[in-house]
Structure 1
Amino acid sequence: MFTISNGIILKGQDLVPSRENIVVDEGKIIEIKKDAREGKIIDVGGAIVCPSFIDGHVHIGDSIIKDEGYSLTLSEMVKPPEGVKHKALANASDDELIEAMKQSMWDMVNSGTTHFIDYREGGIKGIKLLNEASRDIPIRPIILGRDDSFYGDDPDLSKVKSAIRKILKVADGIAPSGFGEITSDVAKMITEECSRQGKISSIHVAESESNQIESLNNDKVTEIGKGVETNFDQLVHLTNPKSNDLELVTNSNQNVVVCPRANATLNVGVVPLNKMLDLGIKPLLGTDNVMLNSPNMFRELEFTLKIMSVYYKSYINPKDLVKMATTNICGFKINNIVKKSVILEDNFAEFNVLKSFSKNPYINICNRVETKNILYTINKIFSI
């Protein structure tokens, strides 16, 4: 048992600041009060106590090719099966993949991340490799698998059905790459079976303008429209929405993840995050491909804070940004799998204690704090 004393706690799903103490016993928060003091007392001297980070979208497998292919197009980099990433994954040994993923997960842990949602390539084997790599690391991967049988213009649907069921026995859900690689039949099979089993279905949509144009030319509907129609739980990117795309997402109440740094690295645009927030969409923030960016949420928060203001000529609320990296997960339909806690009594202890540099705790986190300024990261299993 220990007490985090004299901290500014960002409590609840809305991250309300409160100067109180937190008592933790066997991985759970048992009391939050100004005068609470039990066990070992850790006086943090006015530091900020914030829920630990969830990285909403990662491709951790491509940790093996950091910064390779810089300046290539989106398709050249990541489109299966000929993208730079997919060729590298195919040629890497299991040991190389495991070691690279371990290094990336420790980078996450050391920068305050305790959960991440991974788009896992390599079928069943790829899922097993990530499980092996994450063993004994204080982080929880939420694994969304995929299989090569999903792809092509005329897939064998019996093989697709079998692959879906096998993946869902060992993974938290399924995430094909995008609508340019799968048919509508495959998409529906994935979402229906995931829904039946209470698992996550996720897909990239509208990452590039060209993807949107191709979808409209071929099917008279945008990729975002397809994502809504086929009922994927989680839509990733939405960087280039058309007409009423965002209103469709708002009305469908689907989960959204945005990845501004990856969009910038691939030169595909700036996500209209200001409009999303105005419409009531509450996205998660993701760092995306490790080959493109470090999986560091502080860097993602700072970049997003600044690119939105300069591009859209409108400041974004830093509190909304911090929620995108922490408590927005609580509103997701997939929260039964992620189980990400807010800072409240009787919840799991999952929080960072961060050095305070300025009076506004939210701008402090987005604009000032670096990895070296994490005083403690606490979760229900480990204390770092």
Structure 2
Amino acid sequence: MFTIANGTILKGQNLQPVRENIVVDEGKIIEISKDSKEGKIIDVEGAVVCPSFINGHIHIGDSIIKDEGYGLSLSEMVKPPNGVKHVALSNASEDDLIDAMRKSMKDMVESGTTHFIDYREGGLEGVKLLKKASADLPIKPIILGRDDSFYGDDPDLNKVKTAIRKLLKIADGIAPSGFGEITFEVADLIVRECSRQGKISSIHVGESESNQIESMNEYHASEIERGVKSNFNQLVHLTNPKGEDLDLVSKSNQNVVVCPRANATLNVGVAPLNKMLSLGIKPLLGTDNVMLNSPNMLRELEFTLKLMSVYYRNYINPVDLVKMATTNICGFNINNIVEKSMIKEDNFAEFIVFKSFSKNPYLNICNRVESKNILYIINKKFSI
């Protein structure tokens, strides 16, 4: 048992700042109050206590080819099966992949991330590799698998069904790359089976303008509209919405993840976060491909804070931004899989203690803090 004392706690789903103490016993928060002091006392006078980060979208296998292919187009970099990423993954040894993924997970932990949602290439073996790589680390991967049988204009649907069922025995869900690589029938099989098993179905939509135009020309609907109507429960990017796309998303029960640094690196646009927030959409924030970006959520937060300000000529509320890296997951319909807690009594202890540099705790996190300013990282299995 221990007590985190004298810090400013960002408490509950709305990250309300309070000066209280947190008592943790066997990985659970058993009391939060001004007078609580039990067990070992850890005095963090003046520090900010924030829920630990969840990286809402990442391709951790890309760790094997950091910074390769810079300047290439989106398709050249990541489109299966011949993108730079996929060729590199197919040629890498298991030991090299595991070593590279472990280094990236350690980087994430050191910058405050305890959970991440991974789009896992490589079929069953890819899922098993990530499980093996993360087994003894203080971080929880939420693994969304995929299989090569999904792709092509005329896939064998029996093989697709078999692949989906095998993946869902060990993965947390299914995540094909995008609508440009799969048929409607494959998308429907993925969504229905994930829904039946209570697992996550996710897909990239509207990442580039060209993808949106191709979708509208061929299907008379944008990728975002197709994602909504296909009932994938998690949509990633939405960088280039058209017409009523965001209104459709706001009226659906689907999760949204945005990846501003990756979009900037690939030169595909800026996610309209201000519009999303005005419509009541509560996105998660992700760092996307490790080949393009470090998986450091502090860097993602600062970049997003300033990009939104200069691009849309309108400040983004920093508390809304911190929620994208923390408690927005608590309102998602996948939280039972992610097991990510807000700071609240009876929840698991999942929080970071940051050194404080300013009176605004949210701007302190987004605008000031670096990894070296993390005093403690606590989760239900590990104290760091």
- How far is 1:171 from its partner? 0.2
Distance in 2 between residues matched to 1:164 and 1:31, nearest whole Å: 43
State the one-letter code of the partner of 1:32.
I
Q: Is 1:332 matched up with 2:337?
A: no
Match of 1:26 in 2: 26
Q: Is 2:293 aligned against 1:293? A: yes
What is aligned with 1:81?
81
- 1:316 is paired with a residue whose SS is coil
Q: Tell me if 1:189 matches 2:204.
A: no
Partner deviation per Cα, 1:145-190 (whole Å, 9 max, x = no partner): 0000000000000000000000000000000000000000000000
Residue correspondences, number? 384
Question: Partner letter of residue 291 of structure 1?
Answer: M
Distance 1:114 1:178 in 2: 27
Aligned equivalents of 1:172, 1:164: Cα separation in 2: 11
* Alignment partner, residue 361 of structure 2: 361
> What SS does structure 2 have at the residue aligned with 1:165?
helix
Deviation at 1:195, TM superposition (A): 0.2
Q: Deviations over 1:175-209 (max 9, x none)?
A: 00000000000000000000000000000000000
Structure 1 runs (4+) greater than 6 angstroms displaced: none
Aligned partner of 2:216 in structure 1 is 216
Distance 2:365 2:310 in 1: 19
1:137 maps to 137
- 1:263 corresponds to which residue? 263
Name the counterpart of 2:7.
7
Q: CA deviation at 1:116?
A: 0.1
Percent identity over the alignment? 80
- The one-letter amino acid of 2:357's match is F
Using the alignment, how far apart are the partners of 1:105 and 1:125 within structure 2? 19
Q: What letter corresponds to residue 210 of structure 2 in structure 1?
A: S
Q: Distance in 2 between matches of 1:142 and 1:128?
A: 12
Can you list the C-alpha shifts for 1:232-291, whole angstroms capped at 9, x where unaligned? 000000000000000000111210000000000000000000000000000000000000
Q: Distance in 2 between matches of 1:122 and 1:6?
A: 47
Q: Partners in 2 of 1:55 and 1:168 — Cα distance?
A: 21
Counterpart for residue 277 of structure 2? 277
The AA in structure 2 aligned to 1:218 is: E
What is the letter of the counterpart of residue 211 of structure 1? Answer: N
**What amino acid sits opposite 2:382 in the alignment?**
F
Report SS of the residue matched to 1:61: helix
Aligned to 1:377: 377
Instruction: Give the aligned partner of residue 237 of structure 1.
Output: 237
Q: Residues of 2 paired with 1:184 and 1:222: CA distance?
A: 14
- Return the letter of the residue paired with 2:341: S
- Residue 65 of structure 2 is matched in structure 1 by 65
Q: CA deviation at 1:3?
A: 0.5
What is the correspondence of 1:26-175 to structure 2 with a 5 Å cutoff?
26-175=26-175
TM-score (norm 1): 1.00
Deviations 1:295-346 (A, max 9, x none): 0000000000000000000000000000000000001111110111010111
- The whole-number CA distance in structure 2 between the counterparts of 1:306 and 1:133 is 34
Report how far residue 45 of structure 1 moved.
1.2
Task: Give the aligned CA root-mean-square deviation in angstroms.
Answer: 0.4
Which runs of no fewer than 5 residues in structure 1 stay unpaired? none
Instruction: Tell me, in whole angstroms, the C-alpha distance in 2 between the residues paired with 1:166 and 1:135.
Output: 21
Q: CA deviation at 1:46?
A: 1.2
The residue type paired with residue 199 of structure 1 is K
SS at match of 1:101: helix
Three-state SS of the structure 2 residue aligned to 1:5 is: strand
Deviation at 1:129, TM superposition (A): 0.2
1: CA distance between counterparts of 2:212 and 2:307?
A: 23
SS in 1 for 2:13: coil
Unaligned 5+ runs, structure 2: none
**1:40, 1:46 → 2: CA distance?**
19
**TM-score computed with the length of structure 2 as normaliser:** 1.00
* 1:343 alignment counterpart: 343
| Partners of 1:168 and 1:21 in 2: CA distance | 41
3-state secondary structure, aligned to 1:31? strand
SS at match of 1:298: helix
In structure 2, C-alpha distance between the alignment counterparts of 1:272 and 1:346, rounded to whole Å: 36
Return the letter of the residue paired with 1:235: L
Cα deviations by residue, 1:56-106 (Å, 9 ceiling, x for unpaired): 000000100000000000000000001000000000000000000000000
Aligned to 1:207: 207
- Please give the alpha-carbon distance, in whole angstroms, between the structure 2 residues aligned to 1:57 and 1:256: 10
